[in-house]
Each structure stands twice: as C-alpha cells, then as structure tokens.
Amino acid sequence: MPITFSRLLVSIIACSALSATAASRIGTGAVQELYEQKCGACHGMKMESGIGGSLVDDTWKHGSSDEAIANVIRNGVPGTEMIAFKEQLSEEQIRALVILIRERQQMTEPTPTSSDDVINAGDLRLQLQPLMTSDSLLWGMTVLPDQSMLVTQRSGKLWHYHNGNKQSISGVPEVWHQGQGGLLDVAAHPDYANNGWIYLAFSETSGKKNDQGRQVGATKIIRAKLKNNALVEQQTIFSVPLNEQVNRGWHFGCRLVLVDGYLFFGIGDAGFPENAQKLDNVNGKIHRLHDDGRVPSDNPFVNNKEAIKSIWTYGNRNPQGLTYDVQRKILWEAEHGPRGGDEINVIEKGKNYGWPTITYGINYDGTPITDKTAAPGMEQPKHYWTPSIAVSNIDIYRGDVFKSWQGKMLVSSLAAQELRVLDINAEKITGDTLIFNDRGRIRDVQVGRNGEVFLLINNEQEQSFGLYSLKSIK
C-alpha cells in the first residue's frame, strides 16, 4: 500500500519529539518507511550496498549536492535501473529523503581518536581539565576581569568560581524550571570593571495557564551587581507582558551579547513556528536593546505600529549560540533546526532568516515541513548541519594557546556531543573540523581572556555536570 505522510503523522507518537536525541531519530519515522518502500531494495536498508550502490560512501556519479541528489531521485538516471520518482513522490518527500541520506552519511564519518585522558585531533593532543562540578545541568558562563567565572545552573543556582573554589550567589530571581527553561545565560558588561553590571536571562511564569490548562511563561532578562556574594541593585531589562506569555517549556533562547552599548539576545519560537514570521510577537527573533533596556531609535521596526520595537531580526527558530566577532565586526548566531538544518547565521539588521517558510530540516517524526530551502527576501545560513548536531553556543578564538585556531569559530553541540572548529573567510564558512565528541552534551564554549577555552559539559546518564578547561598537551 502506498505510504502517506498524513497517515504516518497520526500513527507515529511513540515518544516525545522534543526530548528524543538527534542520534535516536536517525533511521526512524515516516521518511525511513518511505525509503524502505522506494529505495531499500536497490541500495540496502542501511544504504550501504545493493545493485544501486552505496549512498553513504561519499562516492557520487551524478553530483554530491543536495540539489543533485534530489534531481536523481526526481528524474532518475536514463540508461540505468534508477527510475524517476517524480510521479510517485512529492517535492517535500524528495527533500525528506535527501535529509535521511545525509543523516546516514554522518553516522559513517570517522571521529578523532581519544582515550579517557587524551584527545587526538589532527596535530593537537588535548585534555579536559575539570574545574567545577554541580548536581544538575549547567547552562551559561562568563569570565570576569579577575579571571574568576560566573556559571549558571539551569535549576536556578548561580555559582562564582575562583581559584578552584565555588561559591553560591544569593538573590537570584525565582526561575521557572520547566522543560528547557530555567536559569539560562549570564554575561558580564564589557565595562564590568567600572560599572559592575551582570546580565541574567531566565524563564519566568506568573502562573498563567493556556486554554489546555497548561502553565505558560516567557524569557526574562535582568541586570544586577555582585556584592558580598549576592545580587543587588536588580533591574528588569526585558520581560514579556502576561497576556503574551505562551511558552509551554521549550525554545526560550537565550544567549546574551553586549557590544558598543547594546544588548543582543535571541528568543526561540516557543514551539509555535508561525510566530517567528510575525513582527507583533516576541518569539522566534533576535532582539536589540540599549544595555539599560531602552529601545534604540534606529531599530528596524520602531516605526511599525504593529511590531515589537526591540526586534532586530526575525524568522529565527531557536537561537542557542550568539557571539560578536570583534575583528570582523560580525554578529554570529547558532540556531537549532528541527531534524536537520541546524544553522550558523550572520545577523544583520531587519533581515528575515526564514523559519518556518524555508528550512534544511524535517519534522522530528520524519515527515516533511516544506520542500523549500530558499525563498526571495529570506537569508541563507552561512553553514548548516544535516543531520542536526543540536548546535549550542559559539565563540571566535583569539589567543595564543591554540594558535592554529586563530580567528576560527568554536562550536559546541548537545545531541552530537561535539566540539567543532569552523574556518572563516570574511562572512563565509570554508571548513568544518570535528575536534572531539562523546564526552557529554556541550552546552557552552567560551574563550577566556588569555586564550584559554572553557566548556560546560553535561552528562545526564552519568549524572556528571561540570566546568572544564581544554588544555593542549605535548
């Protein structure tokens, strides 16, 4: 019987799409069933062999791009047993098959070798040095001028780490620790040595419930000063009005970047994709404020009566990384796609980044979202991953500890548990190197003031949650 995505969309409810890891989704769902029906006999159920040849050995006779692979599926190859499927498959289904092929390819890629102590990554020999541990998931960090660090624990704790010791900070606002929410990012003002401001992002709720009786909340940002291990002089920088709070527990954002007197931050679509395209909705956007919370007069939509005045860009699904490249003067963003289509973007005033109208991903259950990966008036990512790595925070390396990484982008990831390094030429990503994986979900990566690299790594299976320093060893 021909497979239909509408039938499968109803029947595939085996587990929560949002809680499943990227690795566990590969080879599952509607697109896998479609592949087995249409392609498995010729290419093998795991794409590794058959009369049609392997689809995962990176040997392509008719082009290796997504477009070339889709064209072969669509139109076939005359004179071979590869028939055209354009009459049997929709464009959305063809796109979903391309993503499945990319997922399977990723599973066969070699990874750097490592032992319990030493990571071999090309010419580098690396080691993770534990600095601080906690009893639950760590989310964000910032380095202070005295080389001490503030680290957030998503359950609601803020830690001050210095010279091997950690101290709990009091006065942290009550957070809504629901789903992906809780205490999120922390950032010190660039002029912290003089003004003492620390910025915190977190999810809050007033107890409001939606029409289904589920509690909802939103992302909030405050700033405060640290005195005697307590947060004082707290000020609200950004909050969402009660009647606009719709988040049920996911896609809160929220990374913080302060540069030239402005605060940039990202908020996800809160699980409502269509809101990312609506200028009267805070969700699915990058926002820009003065560092004291005022709306800048040159924001792109300040004269639009219907728009949220703080919006800087829109069409952003779930920003999880944000960093400012001082030398190139570029604001880089890392964004979660669904199943496939994690992105690296250059964030520019007033632009539309496409979600959910265009995407390089599919739904978590293997059904297609759209066949469109591009559209007029919508920005293309500078780099994307299919399958998803669940990209998290990013930073640009400047320092002398890892000289071969100078000016490159460090990328952390959750589901793939990877640290990657991206080569950059102006605004183009020209290379992507895996440094290590399988040490836990890397929530944050930051370059220290002296070129050190710090990582927050969470391993929930082993109940290990820690701050680490990445060391180069001889």
Look at residue 6 in the predicted model and tell me its pLDDT: 35
Per-residue pLDDT reduced to its tens digit, 151-197: 999 999 999 999 999 999 999 999 999 999 999 999 999 999 999 99
- Least trusted range by pLDDT, from 65-69, 285-289, 373-377: 65-69
* Model confidence band, residue 202 (pLDDT cutoffs 50, 70, 90): very high
Look at residue 114 in the predicted model and tell me its pLDDT: 61
Intra-chain end-to-end CA distance of the chain, in Å: 61
Distance CA 265, CA 454 (A): 21
Tokens of 232: 């004082």
* Model confidence band, residue 103 (pLDDT cutoffs 50, 70, 90): confident
Task: Give percent of the chain with pLDDT exceeding 70.
Answer: 91
Domain with CATH 1.10.760.10 in the chain: 5-107
Domain with CATH 2.120.10.30 in the chain: 119-336+390-472
Look at residue 206 in the predicted model and tell me its pLDDT: 84
Judged against a pLDDT cut of 70, whether residue 17 lies above it is answered with: no
Distance CA 322, CA 63 (A): 34
- Least trusted range by pLDDT, from 98-112, 366-380, 416-430, 442-456: 98-112
- Least trusted range by pLDDT, from 30-44, 290-304, 339-353, 364-378: 30-44
Which class for 144: exposed (0-12), middle (13-18), buried (19 or more C-beta within 10 A)? middle
Residue 247 β-bridge partners: 217
Q: Is 336 a catalytic residue?
A: no
What average pLDDT does the segment 10-19 reach?
33
The 3 state secondary structure assigned to 198-266 is: EEEEEEECCCCECCCCCECEEEEEEEEEEECCEEEEEEEEECCCHHHCCECCCCCCCCEEEECCEEEEE
| Residue 138, H or E segment | strand 138-143
Distances (CA, A) of 433 to 122, 141, 342, 410, 436: 10, 24, 16, 10, 9
Q: Max CA-CA distance within the chain?
A: 78
Distance CA 26, CA 365 (A): 10
Per-residue pLDDT reduced to its tens digit, 312-361: 999 999 999 999 999 999 999 999 999 999 999 999 999 999 999 999 99
3-class secondary structure, 25: helix
Q: Pick 119-336+390-472's CATH classification: 3.40.50.300, 3.50.50.100, 1.10.1740.10, 2.120.10.30.
A: 2.120.10.30
Judged against a pLDDT cut of 80, whether residue 95 lies above it is answered with: yes
> Reading across the β-sheet that carries 409-413, which strands appear in turn?
391-396, 409-413, 418-425, 428-437
Q: Tell me the HSE value of 89 on the side-chain side, using a 13 A CA sphere.
A: 28
Q: Using an 8 Å Cβ cutoff, are 225 and 233 in contact?
A: yes
Look at residue 4 in the predicted model and tell me its pLDDT: 36
Length of the chain: 474
Q: What is the mean pLDDT of the chain?
A: 89
Residues with Cβ within 8 Å of 156's Cβ and at least 6 positions away in sequence, in order, are: 172, 174, 175, 177, 182, 183, 202
| DSSP state, residue 109 | S
Distance CA 323, CA 393 (A): 8
Look at residue 108 in the predicted model and tell me its pLDDT: 65
Distance CA 232, CA 445 (A): 27
Look at residue 342 in the predicted model and tell me its pLDDT: 98
Look at residue 123 in the predicted model and tell me its pLDDT: 85
Judged against a pLDDT cut of 70, whether residue 13 lies above it is answered with: no
Judged against a pLDDT cut of 60, whether residue 24 lies above it is answered with: no
Taking residue 249's Cβ as centre, other Cβ atoms within 10 Å add up to 20
- Least trusted range by pLDDT, from 24-33, 144-153, 240-249, 462-471: 24-33
Q: Using an 8 Å Cβ cutoff, are 247 and 271 in contact?
A: yes
What average pLDDT does the segment 246-273 reach?
95
What average pLDDT does the segment 62-76 reach?
87
* Model confidence band, residue 112 (pLDDT cutoffs 50, 70, 90): low
Strands 428-437, 149-153: pairing kind: unpaired
- b/e map 438-473, b = 16+ CB within 10 Å: ebbbbbbbbbeeeebbbbbbbeeeeeebbbbebeee
Distance CA 407, CA 450 (A): 15
- b/e map 292-303, b = 16+ CB within 10 Å: ebeeeeebbbee
The crossing angle, in degrees rounded to 10, of helices 91-107 and 66-75 is 130
Task: Give percent of the chain with pLDDT exceeding 90.
Answer: 66
Judged against a pLDDT cut of 80, whether residue 42 lies above it is answered with: no
Look at residue 106 in the predicted model and tell me its pLDDT: 72
Catalytic member of 43, 189, 251, 383: 251
What average pLDDT does the segment 422-429 reach?
97
Distance CA 287, CA 319 (A): 11
Judged against a pLDDT cut of 70, whether residue 34 lies above it is answered with: yes
Judged against a pLDDT cut of 90, whether residue 46 lies above it is answered with: no
Topology of domain 5-107, per CATH? Cytochrome Bc1 Complex; Chain D, domain 2 (1.10.760)
Write the Ramachandran bin of 270: left for phi over 0, alpha for psi from -120 to 50, otherwise beta: left
The crossing angle, in degrees rounded to 10, of helices 91-107 and 29-38 is 100
Look at residue 10 in the predicted model and tell me its pLDDT: 31
Separation of CA 315 from chain center = 14
Q: Using an 8 Å Cβ cutoff, are 94 and 371 in contact?
A: yes
Distance CA 160, CA 173 (A): 16
Residue 138 β-bridge partners: 153
- Least trusted range by pLDDT, from 19-33, 213-227, 248-262, 281-295: 19-33
| Residue 74, H or E segment | helix 66-75
